[in-house]
Amino acid sequence: MTDDTRDRAKTYFAQGQAAFERGSYREAVECFEAAVQLAKAATPLGGEIQTWLVNAYSAVGKQQEAIALCQALARHPDLETRKQGKNLLYILQAPQLQRPTNWMTQIPDLDAISEGSDKNLGSSVYGAATTYKPRSRPKPEAPPIDPSLINRSDNGFLWAALVGIVLVLGGLLWLS
């Protein structure tokens, strides 16, 4: 692979990553497929591109292509790519969990509302609108304390603790 081909593959790869992160999965698939064509599949770069392509295939709903590519990645010469391929294959072949219907929110179809219908304008199927209480104002901060009012006399316990520590340390030194 020449430097020009590798640079073009990296460019397509970067464009695919950007498209994938934006949520443009079809565009990402196109960029990753172009990058795989330019990069050798057996190289670490080719393996990384194919790993991203698996995720993009899965995002656009091409599960069979993603699984087939993962099976190929599980036999890749690069150890790290092989590990990632096996992990992705395990995830893709895992059974799908069923979501209870009460976990999902039903969104009404807004296309069903005709443009000329003014009778339901502003009303809700779910009941009356809730009213909110106005926010209460935060309490003002307490004024700072005058330094002349602070008790600065020494605490007797402090001296007793210091004497106790000195006695314990002296006893340890005397015994050693």
Using CA atoms of 64, 70, 73, 74 in order, give the dihedral in degrees to the nearest 10: -120
Residue 173 included in any domain: no
| pLDDT of res. 117 | 55
Q: In this structure, is residue 16 part of a structural domain? A: yes
Question: Is 137 domain-assigned?
Answer: no
Quick check: pTM over 0.85? no
Q: Within a domain: residue 72?
A: yes
pLDDT score recorded for residue 19: 92
Provide the 8-state DSSP code for 103. G
Residue 62 CB neighbours (<10 A): 17
Is residue 65 situated within a structural domain? yes
Q: How many independent structural domains does the chain possess?
A: 1
| pLDDT, position 139 | 83
> Who's near 49: CB < 8 A, 6+ residues apart?
9, 13, 16, 32, 35, 36, 39
What is residue 173's predicted lDDT score, i.e. its pLDDT?
Answer: 92
pLDDT value of position 151 = 74
DSSP 8-state assignment for residue 40: -
**Do 71 and 89 form a contact (C-beta atoms < 8 A)?**
yes
Q: Which residues contact 34 (CB under 8 A, 6 or more apart)?
A: 12
| Residue 99: inside a domain | no
What is the span of the domain harbouring residue 57?
A: 3-92
Residue 124 lies in a domain: no
Per-residue model confidence (pLDDT) at position 51: 92
| Domain CATH code at residue 65 | 1.25.40.10
Report the alpha-carbon distance of residue 176 to residue 173 in Å, rounded. Answer: 5
d(CA 47, CA 82): 8
Q: Is residue 84 part of a domain?
A: yes
Q: What is the pLDDT along the chain (176 residues), one digit of tens a residue?
A: 688 888 899 999 999 999 999 999 999 999 999 999 888 888 889 999 999 999 999 999 999 999 999 999 899 998 898 899 999 889 888 888 887 888 888 777 777 665 555 555 555 666 666 677 777 888 888 888 887 777 767 677 878 899 999 999 999 999 98
